[in-house]
């Protein structure tokens, strides 16, 4: 199994300057190739392949106007053309929208190197055109004799540097537990389990909302294009990064525990993007990060030999009575109703626990 190990590193001044130039060249090649592909199809009616764009890159490096492309690794430039070809393939297959131009300020700063553009020996990674290995802080050791096939270097909006290595790793499935749990995602509680347990919603964004508002107010007062504005923007980005890191750490802990304790996990197949259209709840839904939660459950259940059961988003989990043999269904169930009594069997239900039980039963029924 190919896994990505992502770690922070601290570049020297020379390395940082080279990588920033590489990011700029990657963006330049992407935009120039995208513009030429679009023009070629519009004016000449011709499609473009990766081989065509690779020939263009060779010509651009010989052109006096763009000869600066020679200063960085050619592999990183070729990789961005391959990524653009994948983006177009996804667009034509209707899996994604049309590729967009990259912005200097807003687009992600990253560059990808294949194994012919770096060396990895004794846990030290050295990129092409650099004289020293990167100073990486490993959060966990790589498998012995691991040889990365691809390395991606990036710098986020908070100025932090990361390196992601694709390595081949074998994950042993954990012993079967036989337990099955249903999960109801919410806002008052992050998750409610069919066992009756409720996992608290940390509300990471709310905790730093006042600090974030103050930093954004300071940013709004700075003159555009000034160094003061750049520093203020960095301050806002660092607060956002802190919030995202805490949220991701909590989700990792919760999902890892659920996967280890249960053989099968049932969840609703929610369309979070559509739910964000509710402007009164959009901020809270974004902070709960339901999409990231589901993504973690998907790949972790695959790793450890578990099963993720998806229940249809229109399944009336909150309206049904979960008592065995009852299955009474309410016509309406407003969000402000947190508990209710079944008129048929007389059972008093906690709204979220009842929904989690129904999701668990529906997930098993669809298997």
For the residues of 134-187, what is the DSSP string, one character each?
Answer: --EE-SSPPPTT---SEEEEEE-TTS-EEEEEEEE---PPPPP---EEEEEE-S
- Identify the weakest region by mean pLDDT among 20-34, 130-144, 147-161: 130-144
DSSP summary character for residue 189:
E
Same domain, 23 and 92: yes
| Ramachandran area for residue 45 (φ above 0: left; ψ -120 to 50: alpha; else beta) | left
Beta bridge pairs of residue 119: 126
Digit-coded pLDDT (tens) for 51-70: 999 999 999 999 999 999 99
* Same domain as 152, residue 293: no
Last residue within a domain, chosen from 264, 285, 311: 311
In this structure, of 1-10, 23-32, 347-356, the range with the lowest mean pLDDT score is 1-10
Q: Are residues 184 and 148 in the same domain?
A: no
**Considering its fold, how many domains does the chain have in total?**
2
Q: What is the pLDDT of residues 234-243, one digit of tens each?
A: 999 999 999 9
CA 69 to CA 334: how far, in whole Å?
A: 60
146 in the same domain as 75: yes
Pair (252, 150) in one structural domain: no
H or E element, residue 355: helix 351-365
**Does 144 score more than 90 pLDDT?**
no
Each residue of 175-216: pLDDT tens digit?
A: 888 899 999 999 999 999 999 999 999 999 999 999 999 999
353 domain-assigned = no
Q: Which of the following is catalytic: 43, 63, 132, 268? A: 268
Taking only the tens place, the pLDDT of each residue in 328-361 is 999 998 988 999 999 999 999 999 999 999 999 9
- What CA–CA distances, in Å, run from 264 to 36, 44, 298, 322, 361? 49, 54, 11, 19, 12
> Does residue 33 sit in the same domain as residue 67?
yes
Does one domain contain both 6 and 101?
A: yes
CB burial of residue 253 (10 Å; 0-12, 13-18, 19+):
exposed
Give yes or no: residues 154 and 189 share one domain: no
Residue 249 included in any domain = yes
Digit-coded pLDDT (tens) for 248-266: 999 999 999 999 999 999 9
What's the mean pLDDT when you consider all of the chain?
A: 93
Q: Distance (Å, rounded) from C-alpha 320 to C-alpha 348?
A: 12
Mean pLDDT to the nearest integer, 101-110: 92
- Of 277, 311, 345, the position where a domain reaches its end is 311
pTM (whole model) above 0.85: yes
> Which one is catalytic: 156, 184, 197, 261?
184
CA–CA gap between residue 113 and residue 150 (Å, rounded): 6
pLDDT at 32 over 90: yes
Residues 230 and 273 in one domain: yes
In this structure, the answer to whether residues 157 and 219 fall within a common structural domain is no
pLDDT band at 40 (very low <50, low <70, confident <90, very high): very high
Phi/psi at 53 (nearest 5 deg)?
Answer: -65, -35
Residue 354 domain-assigned?
Answer: no
Instruction: Quote the domain boundaries for residue 274.
Output: 180-311
From residue 43, alpha-carbon distances to 38, 56, 97 in Å are 9, 18, 21
SS3 120: strand
User: Does a structural domain hold residue 344?
Assistant: no
Which pLDDT score, from 0 to 100, does residue 23 have?
A: 97
Residue 122 forms part of a structural domain: yes
Tell me what pLDDT residue 280 has.
87
In a domain, 134, yes or no: yes
Average pLDDT over residues 33-60: 95
Mean pLDDT for the stretch of residues 156-184: 91
Q: Answer yes or no: do 115 and 11 share one domain.
A: yes
pLDDT on residue 147: 87
Q: How confident is the model at residue 143 (pLDDT cuts 50, 70, 90)?
A: confident
Residue 1 DSSP SS3:
coil
Q: Is residue 325 part of a domain?
A: no
Per the annotation, the verdict on 352 as an active-site residue is: yes
Q: What is the pLDDT of residue 173?
A: 83
The secondary element (H helix, E strand) that includes residue 250 is helix 227-261
Three-class DSSP category at 194: coil
Give me the pLDDT at residue 4, please. 83
Q: Which pLDDT belongs to residue 49?
A: 95
Looking at 265, 284, 311, the residue that finishes a domain is 311
Q: Is residue 276 domain-resident?
A: yes
* 161 and 128 share one domain: yes
């Amino acid at each position: 199994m190919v896994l990505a190990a992502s770690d922070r590193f601290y570049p020297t001044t020379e390395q940082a300057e080279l990588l920033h130039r590489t990011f700029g060249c990657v963006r330049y090649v992407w935009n120039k190739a995208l513009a030429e592909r679009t023009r070629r199809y519009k004016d000449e009616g011709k499609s473009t392949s990766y081989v065509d764009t690779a020939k263009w890159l060779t010509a651009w490096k010989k052109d006096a106007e763009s000869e600066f492309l020679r200063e960085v690794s050619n592999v990183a430039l070729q990789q961005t053309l391959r990524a653009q070809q994948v983006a177009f393939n996804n667009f034509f297959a209707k899996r994604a929208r049309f590729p967009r131009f990259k912005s200097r300020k807003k687009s992600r700063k990253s560059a990808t190197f294949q194994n012919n553009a770096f060396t990895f020996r004794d846990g030290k990674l050295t990129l092409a055109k650099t004289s020293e290995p990167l100073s990486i802080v490993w959060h966990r050791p790589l498998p012995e004799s691991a040889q990365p096939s691809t390395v991606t270097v990036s710098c986020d909006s908070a100025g932090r540097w990361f390196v992601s290595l694709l390595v081949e790793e074998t994950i042993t499935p954990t012993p079967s537990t036989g337990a099955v749990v249903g999960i109801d995602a919410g806002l008052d509680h992050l998750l409610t389990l069919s066992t009756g347990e409720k996992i608290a919603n940390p509300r990471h964004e709310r905790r730093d909302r006042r600090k974030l508002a103050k930093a954004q107010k300071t940013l709004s007062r700075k003159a555009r294009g000034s160094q003061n504005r750049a520093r203020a923007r960095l301050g806002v980005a660092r607060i956002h990064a802190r919030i995202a890191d805490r949220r991701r750490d909590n989700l990792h802990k919760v999902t890892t525990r659920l996967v280890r304790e249960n053989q099968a996990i049932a969840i609703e197949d929610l369309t979070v993007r559509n739910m964000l259209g509710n402007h009164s709840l959009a901020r809270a839904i974004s902070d709960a990060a339901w999409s990231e939660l589901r993504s973690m459950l998907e790949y972790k259940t695959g790793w450890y030999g578990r099963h993720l059961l998806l229940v249809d988003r229109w399944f009336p989990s909150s309206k049904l009575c979960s008592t065995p043999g009852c299955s009474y269904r309410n016509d309406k169930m407003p969000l402000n109703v947190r508990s209710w009594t079944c008129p048929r069997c007389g059972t008093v239900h906690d709204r979220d626990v009842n929904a989690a039980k129904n999701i668990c039963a529906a997930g098993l029924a669809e298997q």
